[in-house]
Amino acid sequence: MKIFVKNNDISKALRILKKKMLEEGDAKEFRARQFFVSKGEEKRLAVKAGKKRWAKKQILIEKNRERKERDMAKARRSKTNQNRNNRTNVSTQVQDTNKPRY
């Protein structure tokens, strides 16, 4: 992997390096190989990571459900407001037509 430094901007080059390492997963691999991990511990860590992913997914599902319910309630409120406005407009038109014309 090569990172070129342009205009002596090392901070930008470092940011690009970190981004590329994150995309390739090198940083995780370095951390994982820093110490010996037995097969049993790898399995326990994998199960723990799976539970964490599942919990995160459940939170996202719950947020999406709440958002949908809120949007549906908002749509219902706006629809009832439109119906109320239409009824008041119709009733004023009916009253106007009943007036005698001079």
pLDDT (mean) for 64-92: 78
How does pLDDT run across 10-24, given as a tens digit for each residue?
999 999 998 998 888
Q: Is the overall model pTM greater than 0.85, yes or no?
A: no
Contact 18, 31 (CB under 8 A): no
Residues 21-46 pLDDT 10s: 888 888 888 888 899 999 999 999 99
3-state secondary structure of 8: coil
Distances (CA, A) of 101 to 64, 90, 91, 98: 57, 19, 18, 9
Tally of CB atoms within 10 A around 16:
15
Token pair listed for 85 = 């406005």
What pLDDT does 39 receive?
A: 95
What are the residue boundaries of the structural domains of the chain, listed by start? 1-35, 37-87
> For residue 58, what are its two tokens?
């459940």
Predicted confidence at residue 48, as pLDDT, reads 97
